[in-house]
Amino acid sequence: MHEDVERWLLIQENLGRARNTILAYRHALVDYVSFCSTNQIPICEATREHVSLYVRSMTDRFRQARSSVDILTSPVGLANATIRQRLTAVRLYYDYLIEEGIRSHNPVSRGRHTTTARAAMPGPTSRALVPSYSVLPWIPDEDEWRHILTIARTGSPRDRLMLALAYDAGLRREELCSIATGDLDPARRLVHVRAETTKGRRARVVPYSVPTGMLLEAYLHERRSLTRDRGSLFVSQSRRNRGVPITVWTWSKVIQGLARRAALPCLATHTFRHLCLTDLARAGWELHEIAEFAGHRNISTTLLYIHLSGRDLSAKLARATCAHGQRMIEIGAFLGARP
């Protein structure tokens, strides 16, 4: 790694950035430094042309199969979100070099939207280097959901409880794995999600259902056989790390195995949270209520998580066009049209 890169990452860590954010920055900059080294580009002297070559390399890069699901190697480049994330890390790094007086300009331009509402705002406008694509996340239908639960029944009490909490309380992976024994209020069936474990650094209290409470009781009995220490709720069951708090990667591997056995490659740790928020929308919750439940700062973020399936839209369309269709039949009858 370049010395300035390590220094910038250390500064971000000292400023209290989330651990996963630091890991994402490091992964992105390792990739960028490797590209510059391979192409003999001095990282501190890179130009926009060099950055454009880096974007091209990511676009043409092969995506290798991961252990989560058996994805065949594809000629499609890195995902749009991955490319944008890596460019963000590179841009922030060059901002640091400008502040330190090492560079005079940033080769990674910051795009600005030119919508009608903002067209009259002063200042230059430009497009981002890589456009953003909004893709609807996958959620299982009813048959797929029951199939997932059928496969998950063979799992350990810990894994079954984690799946239930992930959906029931709409928890992110980091939030779920960071639950401590003191965060639970079994009497009121509440979970206190601490601010330091959340993406937006916002604490919240979320409820869980009676079935989840029953799974919790069964798991606590098993946990006492592993460790009697307070602290992390979810601990390892392996001989090597018996009683040690699990990591987010442990939960990811559990879901990867579940996805493989269920033959649902799109299943991920975030699927349960997304399905929960979508179900709340279907149940008639107001948007601000769902945002509060999910811990979103901005309601626009909540909208990204909520979408209705094609079946829901078809049902809505049928109800909406019922009156319209009846009126057209009347028009046809009076005007002499025959079906």
Say how far apart CA 105 and CA 300 lie, in whole Å: 32
Q: What is the pLDDT of residue 281?
A: 84
324, exposed or middle or buried, with CB in 10 Å at 0-12, 13-18, 19+? exposed
Residue 282 neighbours by CB under 8 Å, 6+ apart: 308, 312
Residues 132 and 80: beta-carbon distance below 8 Å: yes
Please check whether residues 18 and 78 belong to one and the same domain.
Answer: yes
Q: Which domain CATH number covers 240? A: 1.10.443.10
At residue 41's C-alpha, the angle toward residues 38 and 45, to 5°, is 155
- Mean pLDDT of all residues in the chain? 83
Mean pLDDT of 211-239: 92
Say how far apart CA 306 and CA 39 lie, in whole Å: 43
Q: Which residue has the higher pLDDT, 4 or 126?
A: 4
| pTM for the predicted model, two decimal places | 0.70
Q: Which residue has the higher pLDDT, 332 or 253?
A: 253
- Residue 131: pLDDT band with limits 50, 70, 90: confident
Residue 152 neighbours by CB under 8 Å, 6+ apart: 159, 160, 163, 258
Both tokens assigned to 334: 């009076």
Mean pLDDT of 133-153: 87
Count of structural domains, the chain: 3
- Residue 80: pLDDT band with limits 50, 70, 90: confident
Cα 68 to Cα 265, 307, 333: the distances in Å are 8, 25, 60
For 160-174, 248-262, 318-332, which range has the lowest pLDDT when averaged over its residues?
318-332
- Residue 110: pLDDT band with limits 50, 70, 90: confident
Q: Which residue has the higher pLDDT, 205 or 285?
A: 205
Say how far apart CA 162 and CA 246 lie, in whole Å: 12
What would the pLDDT profile of 90-108 be if each residue is shown by its tens digit?
999 999 999 999 999 999 9
Q: Which domain CATH number covers 14? A: 1.10.150.130
Residue 228 neighbours by CB under 8 Å, 6+ apart: none
- Residue 313: pLDDT band with limits 50, 70, 90: low
Please check whether residues 91 and 148 belong to one and the same domain.
Answer: no
Check whether 283 has a pLDDT greater than 60: yes
Q: What is the pLDDT of residue 262?
A: 95
What would the pLDDT profile of 37-75 be if each residue is shown by its tens digit?
999 999 989 999 999 999 988 888 755 434 444 444 444
Q: What is the pLDDT of residue 324?
A: 59
Domain that holds residue 325: 309-339
Look at residue 274 and tell me if it is in a domain. Answer: yes
Q: Which residue has the higher pLDDT, 321 or 124?
A: 321
Look at residue 63 and tell me if it is in a domain. Answer: yes
Check whether 116 has a pLDDT greater than 90: no
Please check whether residues 75 and 159 belong to one and the same domain.
Answer: no
Query: What backbone phi and psi angles, to 5 degrees, belong to 84?
Result: -65, -40
Q: What is the pLDDT of residue 21?
A: 87
Cα 181 to Cα 9, 97, 173, 177, 191: the distances in Å are 32, 44, 17, 12, 10
For helices 248-262 and 157-168, angle between their N-to-C axes, nearest 10 degrees: 90
Please check whether residues 74 and 188 belong to one and the same domain.
Answer: no
Please check whether residues 85 and 13 belong to one and the same domain.
Answer: yes
26, exposed or middle or buried, with CB in 10 Å at 0-12, 13-18, 19+? middle
Please check whether residues 193 and 327 belong to one and the same domain.
Answer: no
Residues 176 and 129: beta-carbon distance below 8 Å: no
Check whether 6 has a pLDDT greater than 70: yes
3-class DSSP state of 322:
helix
Please check whether residues 167 and 39 belong to one and the same domain.
Answer: no
What would the pLDDT profile of 269-281 be if each residue is shown by its tens digit?
999 999 999 888 8
Mean pLDDT of 161-170: 94
Identity of the residue numbered 278 = T
DSSP state of 180: B
What is the length of the chain? 339
Extended strands (E) in 189-329: 190-193, 204-207
Please check whether residues 300 and 329 belong to one and the same domain.
Answer: no
